[in-house]
Amino acid sequence: MSFSTEQKFWNLLKEQSSYEEAIGLMAWDMRTKAPKKGVENRSEVIGVLSQKVHEIQTCNEIKLYIDELKKTASDPKLIAALREAEETYHRTNKIPTQLYKEFVTLQTTAESKWAEAKENNDFESFQPYLEELVRYNREFAELWGYEDHIYDALLHNYEPGVTVKQLDQVFPKVRDELAALLTKIQESEVSPDPAILQGHFPKHLQEAFSEEILKRMSYDFDAGRLDETIHPFAIGLNTNDVRVTTKYDERDFRTAVFGTIHEGGHALYEQNIDPDLSFTPLATGTSMGIHESQSLFWENFIARSREFWENHYSLFQSHAPDRFKQVSFDDFFLAVNEVKPSLIRIEADELTYCLHIMVRYELEKALINGEIEVKQLPELWNEKMKTYLGVVPDSDSTGVLQDIHWAGGDFGYFPSYALGYMYAAQFDSAMRKDVNVSAAVRSGDFQLIKNWLSNRIHQYGKMKKPLDILEEVTGEGLNPNDLVNYLRNKYKHIYRF
C-alpha cells in the first residue's frame, strides 16, 4: 500500500495528536485521580511521549511534506495545517537541542527555588535563577526573530500576531481608565458586605449546583466530566472528551461557582470545535487570549451579571445554608460584585484584575528589553502596585514572588489574560447586536449565546488566527473601549457614581 504525500502528512499529524491525547489524559489523571506513588513513573512516560511529539514536529520528513504540499494546497484545512506545522517546525528547530535541555533543567530548579523563596520571603535567593531565565528567554527570542521588539518573539508563543506596538496602543488606556474607575468606586458610599456570603456550603450541594449550571451552559456531559482538583483547569482530550475540574471550598462557594463556570467557558470552546479538524494541530483553541475570552465571558459577562442572579439566586439558595433565605437579592448581588484592590492577582475582582496584569506586562517587557534588571523588580513591583492599585505588598511573597509564571520561564504569557478581558468585551458588544443577551440570561436559556459563540469562534479551532477572528466577529481590531465601557456601565449602577 502506498500513500500520497498528503496522506503521509496527515498520518504524521495523527500520530502526534494521538501522543498529545494520551499525554493529556495522563496529565488530567495526575491532577485528579492518580495514586501519588505512581507519579514518578507516569512523569517518565509523559517524557517519552513528549519526546515523540518533538521528533515529529522537527523531523526532516514533515519538512519535505510541507514544502511539497505548500506548492499546490488549496483546501483551507490543509493550508492551515501546513501553516501551523511549518511554524512549529521552524520555531522548534531554531532552538538548539542542548540549549533547550539546559533551559528545561533550569526551569525545574528555578521553580523549586522560587517556591522556597516565596515561602521565606527571600527574593535575593531566587534572583540569580530569574536572571538566568531572562537570559534564556532573550536568547530564544533572538533565535526566533522579530521585527520591532524582542518581546514580540515571546508574545508570539501565546498570542500569535499580537505585538508590543499593538499592546502599547491599548493597555495604557485600559490601565488608566480602570484606575480612574477604581477611584470612583472607592469614593462611593455604597459598601458591599462580603461577610454575608460566609457559611458552610456542603460539597455535594456545590457539586450539584455546578453541574446544573454547566448543563444550562450547554456543556455536554456525554462529551465531558466534572471532577475535583486542587488547581482547577479544563482540558480538551478530543472534541468529544473535554473535561472540567473544579475545587470545592466549603467556606466560600464563589471558588467553585465562578471557577466551574470559568472552566466551563474553556470547555465549551473545545467541545464545539469542528470534529473534521480532529487529529490535526487545528483541533484546539487558537490562542491563550481567545481561550481566556471564552472563560471570562461566561464567568463575568454572564455569571456576574444582575440578570444571571435574577434567574439563579433561588436555585443557589436551595443549595446553600438556610440563612441565605434571609439574604436579599440586592445585598447578595452587591457582595458578589465587590470591587476592592488587593495584593494577589488570582483573588482579584473583575475590575482590578487587569491592573495586576499591567504591572506584570510592563515589568516583563522592560526586563526582556534590557531596560531594567531583575534585582530592581521588587521595588518597581511595589511602586506600580501603589500607583495603579493603591496597595503595597508587605512582603515580596505577596508581591513579586506570588506567581509561578516567571519561575517556570514563561515570559509573554501575562498579556493574554488582559487580552482575554478585552476580546470578551468586544465579543459581548458584537453579540448584543445579534442576540438579546439580557433576556436570554434572565430566562436561563443560554442556547442562543452558546450557539453565537460556537458559530463565530469555537468551530474554527486554530483555522483562524486570534486577530483574524476578532476582526471577523467584531469588524475591528483590538479596542479597549468595549471593556472600559462594560465595566463603567456595570459598576456605575452598582456603586452609584
Contact positions vs its own copies (CB under 8 A): 14-15, 18-19, 21-23, 25-26, 29, 33-38, 40-42, 44-45, 48-49, 220-225, 237-241, 278-279
263, 270, 350, 364: the active-site residue = 263
Tell me, what amino acid is at 235?
I
Distance, CA of 56 to CA of 297 (rounded, Å): 36
Residue 274 or 471: the one with the smaller Cβ distance to its own copies is 274
User: Would you say 55 or 252 has its CB closer to its own copies?
Assistant: 55
Nearer to its own copies (CB atom), residue 208 or residue 223: 223
What gap in Å lies between CA 248 and CA 234, rounded to an integer?
15
Q: Is 231 annotated as a binding residue?
A: no
Region class of 302: left (phi > 0), else alpha (psi between -120 and 50), else beta: alpha
In the complex, the smallest distance separating the C-beta of residue 367 from its own copies, rounded to whole angstroms, is 34
Spatial contact of 439 and 447, defined as CB atoms under 8 Å apart: no
CB 282 → its own copies: shortest distance, Å?
15
Report in angstroms how near the CB of residue 29 gets to its own copies at its nearest. 6
Residue with cell 461557582: 257
CB of 10 to its own copies, least distance (A): 12
Provide CB contacts within 8 A for 371, sequence distance 6+: none
156 among the known binding-site residues?
no
- Other beta carbons less than 10 A from residue 370's beta carbon: 10
Question: What whole-number distance in Å separates Cα of residue 443 and Cα of residue 311?
Answer: 7
When the beta carbons of 19 and 495 are compared against its own copies, the nearer one is 19
- CB 70, min distance to its own copies, A: 25
Q: How far apart are CA 341 and CA 351, in angstroms?
A: 9
Residue 83 Cβ, how far from its own copies at the closest point, in Å? Answer: 24
Q: Minimum Å distance from CB 9 to its own copies?
A: 15
Q: Please give the Cα distance from 290 to 358 (Å, whole number).
A: 18
Q: Is the distance from CB of 371 to CB of 151 less than 8 angstroms?
A: no
211 vs 228: CA distance, rounded Å: 12
Output 215 or 432, the one with its CB closest to its own copies: 215
Q: In angstroms, what CA-CA distances link 141 with 153, 287, 297, 326?
A: 5, 19, 32, 57
3-state secondary structure at position 389: helix
Residue of 263, 262, 248, 253 lying closest to 317 (CA atoms): 253
For residue 372, give the C-alpha cell. 531594567
Q: Which is nearer to its own copies, 25 or 79 (CB)?
A: 25
Cβ nearer to its own copies, comparing 11 with 108: 11
Q: Which residue has the cell 506548492?
A: 71
> From CA 237, how far away is CA 461, in angstroms rounded?
14
Residue type, 236: G
Handedness of CA 390, 394, 399, 400 (dihedral sign): positive
Residue 44 annotated in active site: no
Query: Was 292 annotated as part of a binding site?
Result: yes
Q: In what order do the strands lie in the sheet with 241-246?
A: 226-228, 241-246, 234-238
| Known binding residues | 262, 266, 292
| Known binding residues for Zn(2+) | 262, 266, 292
Q: Which residues are known catalytic residues?
A: 263
